[in-house]
Structure 1
């Protein structure tokens, strides 16, 4: 039984649509009117775009843009959003090989044929492979390294000194008895199930940032 894997027959249309989504404001509804008037995409092939975007969870069944759609418009999150869409829309392929996005054309085509049950020379396989690669071209696969943002003791001393110089009165009308500066530490942890990675991260924090 063939699987219903999403594909587009025009990769130029799909690529253009994804690029324009990043530029245009997020609509209340992603429909044919939005395609025609805001994205300047018309014709028969343009009408196949909303169904495809639903299949990759960029727009909901009622035509409203999803959170992934909004993330895709954010330059910082766009690559990750595209990868989530790729894994969602092509979950049948990822179920066979979770690293399929790293495979070459021959391996990719073979897995598509295996999942769909179609002959290798079937044109639909060619469209699926091409569409997969088009969406993949917008995705990023590297996990961001963890980062920290702290107020150092030197910055705290400078802040306190400037406060006294400017003679900023305390908000409650009482004499100021000092300034307490705390640490704000923001961590973006890597996606891993290896507990040793987290042990090493927090051990480093304790040794270098959390000393008295």
Structure 2
């Protein structure tokens, strides 16, 4: 099950904490002391640390990850947060690709089904509230700039498109396509009763014309 067990016990400061993170230099380790230094000394706010770990912003020891540093770019922060949410709540997005558009009640019901009774009703309420609160600060429609997994995926898609194009050319009645030009190849077969002659000829054609 890909549902994080970390959740917020209060949501009122979530946006302010995220904004403070963007405005501050990344610490060597994100600790309770660092959070207090950002202006959030409440014990309820400390639950944000485990949520940041679940989102892939911090490793298990609290050291900021590359995602954390990407989040500091305020032109990309909402997109980076959306990536973290999709990854952390992967199972929720598998049952509903638009999970970010669901209300808290629907999210809670889906989480209840996915968790198969592992959490109490109160905990599920907090988990659903955490998800919907984070979603408010994320951009699920934007695309990250500067390379990354999306660029790799685009490259893979281009390769697949090229493969499909070559397959279409092979089925195009013996026509070879180069760029936007299509050439028709007319072949005059020699007279022969030996099948090996034709086999060798067609084999050569396949090798040279693809």
| TM-score of the aligned structures, taking structure 1 as reference length | 0.62
| 1:1-212 matches, cutoff 5 A | 5-37=5-37, 39-118=38-117, 122-144=121-143
How much has 1:132 moved relative to structure 2?
Answer: 0.5
Q: Is the 8 A contact 2:56 2:67 kept in 1?
A: yes
Q: Is the 8 A contact 2:81 2:139 kept in 1?
A: yes
Range with greater deviation from structure 2 (97-106 or 125-134):
97-106
Give the unaligned 5+ runs of structure 1.
147-187, 200-205, 208-212
Q: Distance in 2 between matches of 1:97 and 1:112?
A: 11
Q: Distance in 1 between matches of 2:131 and 2:105?
A: 13
Aligned residues: 159
Q: Distance in 1 between matches of 2:60 and 2:77?
A: 22
Deviations 1:27-68 (A, max 9, x none): 11111221122x011132133222221111111112111111
Q: Is the 8 A contact 2:78 2:138 kept in 1?
A: yes
Q: Distance in 1 between matches of 2:143 and 2:4?
A: 33
Relative to total residues, which structure has the larger helix share, 1 or 2? 2
| TM-score of the aligned structures, taking structure 2 as reference length | 0.62
